[in-house]
Amino acid sequence: MLPLPNDLVFFDLEATGLNIVQDRIVQIAMIKLFADGREPAEYERKINPGVPVSAEAAAIHGMTNEDLKDEPTFADLAKEIYEFIGDSDLGGYNSNRYDVPLLQEEFYRAGIYLDTSKRRLIDSQHIFYRMEPRTLSAALKFYAGKEMENAHDALADVRATVDIFRGQLKHYAGAEFKNDDGEVSHPFENLDSVAEFCQDERFLDATRRLKKGPDGTPQFNFGKYSGQNVGDVFAKDPGYLKWILNKDFSTEVKALVKAIDDQRRGK
């Protein structure tokens, strides 16, 4: 490992949702790597967020408000968390875009300013994406062993895509895939299973304006009614449907919300 000029704290947060300003931390875990080489120190606490845990977040990390009601608040723990971090640099996975700003917001509400201007911020996801780019040319080289020529020419791009797909079928023949729930599938048995593997079942439209709720009910994934059932919103705010139909949403979104409203009204 590279010499550490400063202690380095890698950390991860679980939260009530993904909104950095509005959501709250429900669990924090930290590992401090010491610059002097001694054994790393660990810190982990569950936290009562004081606001509702969204159903989507609970489905991912498994913690509900009932589970957390007897845990300390972030304000209760802020001082010891800050002392554990000390003057350390900070690291994580997608931490620059999510964990660091979310932690700063929580500290701010507790009256503590977490200054990152003099800290090194290490984001392993950023390293991964920079070093293993997910581009057409990178995929062509990985799956087909070919160099990209005439990139962004439509015919050259689609030829490369065909070569990539052929390479993927060969590379993943017989491969198993385990999802986040531990369910195992064999995506490359036939074209139906490949097509199913390519779908993101969380969303109902290509622009991701509509999503499936925990029970499969269509919900909004944007705006003031984000996370609320589409039918329920139209029942209490009929004008919202008209607003969507008159705005720059995709034809698919407009057709879906119109069908949902028709079904709600028994048409």
Domain residue spans of the chain? 8-128, 136-197, 210-264
pLDDT at 89: 96
> Does position 266 have pLDDT exceeding 90, yes or no?
no
Tell me: the pLDDT tens digits for 38-65? 999 999 999 999 999 999 899 889 999 9
Nearest to 218 by CA among 245, 255, 251, 250: 255
Overall average pLDDT of the 221-250 stretch: 94
Q: What is the pTM of this model?
A: 0.69
Start-to-end Cα distance in the chain: 65
CATH number of 8-128: 3.30.420.10
Tell me: the pLDDT tens digits for 83-110? 999 999 999 999 999 999 999 999 999 9
At 137, the pLDDT band (50, 70, 90 cuts) reads very high
Work out whether the CA dihedral 78, 79, 85, 90 comes out positive or negative: positive
At 232, the pLDDT band (50, 70, 90 cuts) reads very high
